[in-house]
Amino acid sequence: MDLIREIIAGRRICTLFQPIHDLRKGEIMGYEALTRGPAGPLQSASNLFAAASSRGLRTELELACLREALASAGFVPPGKLLFLNFHPLTLAEHWEAILDGLGGLRRQAVIEITESSGQIRSCAKAQEQLRAAGVRIALDDVGAGDRALANMCEFRADFLKLDRSFIEGLMKLKNGAADRYRSMVRTLVDYAQRAGIEVIAEGVETEKQLLETVMAGIHLVQGFYFGKPRPAEYWAQNPAKERQAVYRG
């Protein structure tokens, strides 16, 4: 049996959850479900999905990841959100199955679509159907693709997840790069506010990055500074184990 099929059939994937913090309230507002493969070269999600894609099994793997994530998400309390990642083509072809799988979690679910994939237009109908059913939509890796601005304008989203390169750019002092990154981030935040969209900063790993993020007007943050991806059991046993940092601006 093909190794990827064996991993899927044997349920040898696991789901970790990383918190997303709302700095205005000083609490976790949701969790992103992150897939890991079995120990070895395919443990990282990027390697696992690359291998699945090369065998034409990406969609099958994504749907298996959804089942595993939902089976582990019982710790997520009412009112908190669950972020789930999908490739645009998977959404376009299987949005009904995804919606059925979400069941009673529809209004807590946020479907993350990779903005940099270059195929985001393929799932426009699926996005509208999911939103009509109460599912929120997030554009992931905003700024990483060559159609970032066009995608933000063309597709209705509830969240923009800012690519971590922007957060890293705020630290680049050489040749005034940090100032230019800061201006760009503030422009994106201003656009999002006018459009009624929330911005999430990914990859916040240090206090300095956090302060820069807050000064740019972003209040939803995700990264190692606040919490590493951990199994559901950890969050079920430690629901209050979070960095207490509140910035009101």
Model confidence pLDDT, tens digit, residues 225-234: 999 999 999 9
Model confidence pLDDT, tens digit, residues 12-24: 999 999 999 999 9
Q: pLDDT class for 115, splitting at 50, 70, 90?
A: low
Cα–Cα separations (whole angstroms), residue 51 to 37, 44, 86, 141: 11, 11, 16, 21
Give the Cα-Cα-Cα angle 44, 48, 50 (nearest 5 degrees): 120
Model confidence pLDDT, tens digit, residues 6-58: 999 999 999 999 999 999 999 999 999 999 999 999 999 999 999 999 999 99
Q: pLDDT class for 148, splitting at 50, 70, 90?
A: low
CATH code for the domain defined by 3-232: 3.20.20.450
Rounded mean pLDDT, 165-188: 89
Model confidence pLDDT, tens digit, residues 59-101: 999 999 999 999 999 999 999 999 999 999 999 999 999 999 9
Give, for 175, the enclosing helix (H) or strand (E): none
User: Rounded to whole angstroms, how far apart are CA atoms 79 and 22?
Assistant: 13
Domain boundaries, the chain: 3-232
pTM over 0.85: yes
For 73-95, b where at least 16 C-beta lie within 10 A, e where not — what string? bebbeeebbbbbbbbbbbbbebb
- Give yes or no for a contact between 50 and 102, defined as CB atoms under 8 angstroms apart: no
How high is the mean pLDDT of the chain? 90
Q: Which pLDDT score is estimated for 240?
A: 61
Q: Which pLDDT score is estimated for 110?
A: 99
List strand residue ranges (DSSP E) for 115-243, in order.
136-142, 159-162, 198-201, 220-221, 230-231
Residue 39 exposed, middle or buried by CB count within 10 Å (0-12, 13-18, 19+): exposed
- Residue 206 is classified by DSSP as S
